């Protein structure tokens, strides 16, 4: 069965999916943006579990429980800081999506929600980031039969419009 990909506008901390993805930093010890919102909603036990993980490289991902969140798990990934696009940012951003999907596959998860990784504080242009998000998820979910639905969770109406347009396109690049 084909995995369904959809976009919606929501606060990711409210989604009752198997895992939400966190756009974290390499310390995994919290921060602002979606990271701050996830830690606030999950409560201090999430930080305690993150402390045991020893950080995370850019482009990699690590899984914790969801603690106080409606989501069962949090997949913490570290997006690249945008430095103009010629310092490996596209490959690292693609790797965030690929590694998160791999972890969801490994843990037998069925439903997963991503924020727009790197497009806030880290400054990645939203349109280019969305092409990578949609393309990478499309190219990798098929390898994991357990993943039924991937949600792209947008915080703004403008971001949602970009995701919806690219999801309607066969080859967004």
| 106 backbone φψ class: left, alpha, beta (φ>0; ψ -120 to 50) | alpha
Total residues at interface with ligand AR6 (CB under 6 A):
24
Is 57 among the catalytic positions? no
Binding to ligand AR6 (CB under 6 A) within 106-145 occurs at 115-122
**Residue in the block written with tokens 């830690």:** 39
The binder of ligand AR6 chosen from 3, 25, 58, 95 (CB under 6 A)? 25
Q: What is residue 10's DSSP assignment?
A: S
Binding to ligand AR6 (CB under 6 A) within 68-97 occurs at 79
C-alpha closest to that of 67 among 7, 10, 97, 22: 22
Binding to ligand AR6 (CB under 6 A) within 43-72 occurs at none
Among 5-13, 63-71, 87-95, 136-144, which window interacts with ligand AR6 (CB under 6 A)?
5-13
Nearer to ligand AR6, 29 or 110 (CB): 29
CB of 29 to ligand AR6, least distance (A): 8
The binder of ligand AR6 chosen from 7, 17, 19, 34 (CB under 6 A)? 34
**CB contact burial 52-81 (16+ within 10 A = b; e otherwise):** eeebbebbbbbbbebbebebbbbbbbbbbe
C-alpha closest to that of 71 among 137, 11, 120: 11
CB 105, CB 66: distance < 8 Å: no
CB of 32 to ligand AR6, least distance (A): 4
Residues of the shown chain interacting with ligand AR6 in the complex, contacts defined by CB under 6 A? 11-13, 23-25, 31-35, 37, 79, 115-122, 153, 155, 159
Catalytic residues, by residue number, are 35
């Amino acid at each position: 069965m084909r995995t369904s990909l959809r976009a919606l506008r929501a606060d990711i901390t409210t989604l009752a999916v198997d895992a939400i993805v966190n756009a974290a930093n390499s310390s995994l010890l919290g921060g602002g943006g979606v990271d701050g919102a996830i830690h606030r909603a999950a409560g201090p036990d999430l930080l305690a579990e993150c402390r045991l993980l020893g950080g995370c490289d850019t482009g990699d991902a690590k899984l914790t429980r969801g603690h106080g969140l409606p989501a069962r798990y949090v997949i913490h990934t570290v997006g690249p800081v945008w430095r103009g696009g010629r310092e490996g940012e596209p490959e690292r951003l693609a790797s965030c999506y690929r590694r998160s999907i791999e972890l969801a596959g490994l843990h037998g998860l069925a439903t997963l929600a991503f924020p727009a990784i790197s497009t806030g504080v880290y400054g990645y242009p939203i349109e280019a980031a969305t092409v990578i998000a949609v393309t990478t998820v499309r190219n990798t979910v098929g390898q994991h039969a357990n993943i039924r639905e991937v949600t792209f969770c947008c915080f703004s109406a403008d971001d949602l419009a970009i995701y919806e347009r690219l999801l309607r396109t066969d080859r967004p690049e």
